[in-house]
Amino acid sequence: MTGLATALRTLAVTAASGLLALSGTVTGAAAGTATGAVAPPAPPASASAAPEPKAPREFVALGSVDRTILQEMRYTTAHNFVGEPVDGYRQPLCILTRPAAEALHRAQLRLLARGYALKVYDCYRPQRTVDHFVRWAKDLEDERMKKEFYPLVDKSRLFADGYIAEKSGHSRGSTVDVTIVRLPVVPTRAYVPGEELVECWAPREERFPDNSVDMGTGYDCFDTRSHTDDPRIRGEQRANRQLLKGVLAEQGFVNLPEEWWHFTFRPEPFPATFFDFPVARRSVAGH
């Protein structure tokens, strides 16, 4: 138990420092390893503007349930398939329904005992974020991130092939994009906008570095190699996917077969409601 307690304390500090770092200008760095300047405050809303919606009380910040789970919130950065921070993300923060957050906490305890930790890339996703994805997918001229995230997919096929849709289960609050990191956490370098891109399914030593264990592809890789049980994924990569899937399944999470990183907690508290409150601390203040 002494080793586990030490790991918990170390990860709590790592995760907390990572959240501060990701709020700055350094983008794409793993939570707990990057440093950056704090983003300037948003300009005050006009007196006539409608107040932003808040989350129902069933939603919480993951950090209030488990500070040791690493958070690398990709859509607050330019390192994603859009190539810029996405609408709806005010802060690099994982928000989930409380049952989903508590289930992740239980899975984290099991992994810590084995020398691993969870890292989340995305959690609750506002509808306005999904709308941004839809607008981007319809703009066939914008292919700045194609080489990394969808190298073999014609952008005109993103809707037909199921990579982009007008609704997302993430907006219901119990879905998470997640991976596993080996302890101790090794820093991930920051993504530099405009840098040369490498295919998301390239060998690990060639594609963009991520402190995740090797899952065979990077996160958000629009390719059939991302299917959890794709037969081309073998050996250690396959074992890593099965470890993640197994640990989360024990706690009630169901994997989306087309994405090794995508898990939904069942039963969902809001199975038919798609929320649009922003990803911000004020959305869950007092919860």
CA distance 261 to 192: 24
Catalytic choice (72, 148, 259, 268): 259
Identity at 71, one-letter amino acid code: Q
Helix (H, G, I), strand (E, B) or coil at 184: coil
Residue 236, token pair as written in the block: 């250690």
In degrees to the nearest 10, what's the CA dihedral of 23, 24, 26, 30? -30
Q: How many CB atoms lie within 10 A of CB 45?
A: 10
Contact of 61 with 95, CB cutoff 8 Å: yes
Matching residue, tokens 């197994």: 246
- Mark whether 259 is an active-site residue: yes
Q: How many CB atoms lie within 10 A of CB 17?
A: 15
98 φ, ψ (degrees, to nearest 5): -60, -45
User: Who's near 83: CB < 8 A, 6+ residues apart?
Assistant: 142, 144, 145, 193
Q: Catalogue the active-site residues.
A: 259
